[in-house]
Amino acid sequence: MAHRDEKQAQLDAVRVEPCDAPLTTDQGIQVDDTDNSLKVGERGPSLLQDFHLREKITHFDHERIPERVVHARGAGAYGTFQVYDDSLAEFTRAEFLTDPSIETPVFVRFSTVAGSRGSADTVRDVRGFATKFYTRQGNFDLVGNNMPVFFIQDGIKFPDFVHAVKPEPHNEIPQAQSAHDTLWDFVQLQPETMHMMLWAMSDRALPRSFATMQGFGVHTFRLLDARGRSTFVKFHWKPKAGVHSTIWDETQKIAGKDPDFQRRDLWERIETGAHPEWELCLQLVPEEDEHKFDFDLLDATKLIPEEEVPARPVGRLVLNRNPDNYFAETEQVAFCTANIVPGLDFTNDPLMQARLFSYLDTQLFRLGGPNFPQLPVNKPIAPVRNHHRDSFHQHEIHTAKTSYHPNTLSGGCPVMAGDTAFAHYPAPTQGEIVRKRAESFGDHYSQATLFWNSMSDVEKEHIVAAFRFELGKVETVQIREGVVVHLNHVDHDLAVQVAQGIGVTPPERAVTQNHGRTSPALSQVNLTGDEPVKARKVAVLVGEGSDSGAIGVVGDALADAGAVSELLAAHSGTVQSADGGRITVDKAINTMASVLYDAILIPGGEAAVRALGKDGLAVFYVTEAYKHGKPIAAVGPGAADLLDKAGVPRDAAGVIVAETPDASTAQAFVDAIARHRFWAEREVDHIPG
- Which of the residues are catalytic? 71, 145
Give the span between the Cα atoms of 111 and 125, in whole angstroms.
Answer: 10
Give the span between the Cα atoms of 28 and 21, in whole angstroms.
Answer: 12
3-state secondary structure of 138: strand
Which neighbouring-strand residues pair with 565?
538
Cβ density class 127-143: b for 16+ within 10 Å, e for less = bbbbbbbbbebbbbbbb
Give the span between the Cα atoms of 489 and 671, in whole angstroms.
Answer: 41
Residues 676, 654 contacting (CB under 8 angstroms): no
Residues 260, 117 contacting (CB under 8 angstroms): no
Write out the DSSP string of 423-462.
----------EE----GGG---SHHHHHHHHHS-HHHHHH
Which neighbouring-strand residues pair with 279?
238, 316
- How far is Cα of residue 384 from the mean position of the Cα atoms in its chain? 33
Q: What is the sign, positive or negative, of the torsion defined by CA atoms of 613, 617, 621, 623?
A: positive
Write out the DSSP string of 110-125.
EEESSS-TTS-TTSSS
Residues 181, 15 contacting (CB under 8 angstroms): no
Nearest 5°: CA angle at 92, between 88 and 97?
55
Residues 94, 341 contacting (CB under 8 angstroms): yes
Give the span between the Cα atoms of 113 and 105, in whole angstroms.
Answer: 25
Phi and psi at residue 502, to the nearest 5°? -120, 10
Phi and psi at residue 467, to the nearest 5°? -60, -40
Which neighbouring-strand residues pair with 541?
568
Write out the DSSP string of 16-36.
HS---SPPB-TTS-B-S-SSS
User: What count of Cα atoms within 13 Å lies in the side-chain half-sphere of residue 150?
Assistant: 26
3-state secondary structure of 129: strand
Q: State the DSSP code for 374.
A: G
Write out the DSSP string of 513-539.
-------GGG-GGG---S-TTTT-EEE
Q: Which amino acid is at 624?
A: E
Give the span between the Cα atoms of 453 and 447, in whole angstroms.
Answer: 10
355 closest CA partner among 216, 219, 196, 166? 219
71: alpha, beta or left? (left if phi > 0; alpha if psi -120 to 50)? left
Phi and psi at residue 624, to the nearest 5°? -65, -40
Phi and psi at residue 643, to the nearest 5°? -60, -45
Q: Which amino acid is at 22?
A: P
Give the span between the Cα atoms of 135 and 544, in whole angstroms.
Answer: 56
User: What count of Cα atoms within 13 Å lies in the side-chain half-sphere of residue 184?
Assistant: 28
| Cα first-last separation, the chain | 42
Q: State the DSSP code for 347.
A: -
